[in-house]
Amino acid sequence: MDEQTIGANIRRTRQAAGLTVTALAARSQLTKSTLSKVEKGQISSPISTFMRIAEALSVPVADFFVEQPAAKPFVLTRKGDATVITRDGSRFGYAYEALALDMRNKLAEPFVLTICPGDPAGEFSHGGEEFIYMLSGRMEFTVGEHRMILRAGDSLYFDPTNKHTTKVLGKRPARFVCVFIGNRP
């Protein structure tokens, strides 16, 4: 899915909510210029930016990535069929493989993330909760002042309103399941 489609979905959702770009930018703590570029598909943003926008609009982040509504009460994503949302065009270069985009009205958004050696270290903060399960590679991960080294088989559940950072260690990509969980109703 390209940035223009994602941006158009965000704009459509904003307009349906009766908000101006200025109002949504303030609610999501983004600049008006950044939000405008996201809506026009001129920049590729990290998933945390999409989550901030979704939270400000009170919609699931998956609404921005759906091309057609789901017809079943489940979503099956076969190996190799995950939708890659961002990669080389994003600011961080991370690959986000969406595992359940077409499932509507869900509280959690699961992805497989791949961060390669040489990708810039990411620094994020957003609402909800977050869960990580390492599949391969090694990654330095900080939550607030706590620094951890994550390896295959390690898991981490944390409050992402705290500043958190990622950095690949070694020469192999870090690959992990990441589940973003929306705020409780």
Angle at 1 between CA 121 and CA 157, to 5 degrees: 45
CATH number of 54's domain = 1.10.260.40
The domain of 45 spans 3-64
Structural contact between residues 171 and 129, judged by C-beta atoms closer than 8 angstroms: no
In this structure, what token pair is assigned to residue 87?
A: 């990669």
Strands (E), the chain: 83-84, 95-98, 108-115, 122-124, 129-136, 138-143, 146-151, 155-158, 164-169, 174-181
Say whether both 100 and 155 belong to one domain: yes
Does residue 32 belong to any structural domain of this protein?
A: yes
Does residue 10 belong to any structural domain of this protein?
A: yes
Domain count, the chain: 2
Does residue 71 belong to any structural domain of this protein?
A: no
Coil vs helix vs strand at 93: coil
CA distance 109 to 124: 17
Say whether both 29 and 95 belong to one domain: no
Say whether both 92 and 53 belong to one domain: no
CA distance 174 to 17: 38
Say whether both 39 and 92 belong to one domain: no
Q: pLDDT (tens digit, 0 to 9) for every residue of the chain, 185 residues total?
A: 778 889 989 998 998 888 999 999 999 999 999 999 999 988 888 888 999 999 999 999 988 888 755 567 888 888 888 877 764 434 556 778 889 887 877 889 999 999 999 888 888 888 899 999 999 999 999 999 999 999 999 999 999 999 999 999 999 999 999 999 987 65
CATH number of 100's domain = 2.60.120.10
Say whether both 60 and 96 belong to one domain: no
- What are the start-end ranges of the H helices in 41-176? 47-57
Does residue 76 belong to any structural domain of this protein?
A: no
CA distance 15 to 115: 34
Does residue 72 belong to any structural domain of this protein?
A: no
CB half-sphere exposure, 81, CA atoms < 13 A: 8
Say whether both 54 and 91 belong to one domain: no
Say whether both 42 and 130 belong to one domain: no
Say whether both 35 and 94 belong to one domain: no
pLDDT, residue 103, reads 81
Structural contact between residues 160 and 128, judged by C-beta atoms closer than 8 angstroms: yes
Say whether both 40 and 89 belong to one domain: no
Kindly provide the b/e burial profile for residues 31-53, where b requires at least 16 CB atoms within 10 angstroms of the residue's own CB: eeeebbbbbebebbbbbbbbbbb
Give this prediction's pTM: 0.68
Does residue 12 belong to any structural domain of this protein?
A: yes
Does residue 73 belong to any structural domain of this protein?
A: no
Does residue 74 belong to any structural domain of this protein?
A: no
CA distance 139 to 92: 15
Say whether both 161 and 130 belong to one domain: yes
In this structure, what token pair is assigned to residue 15?
A: 């307009």
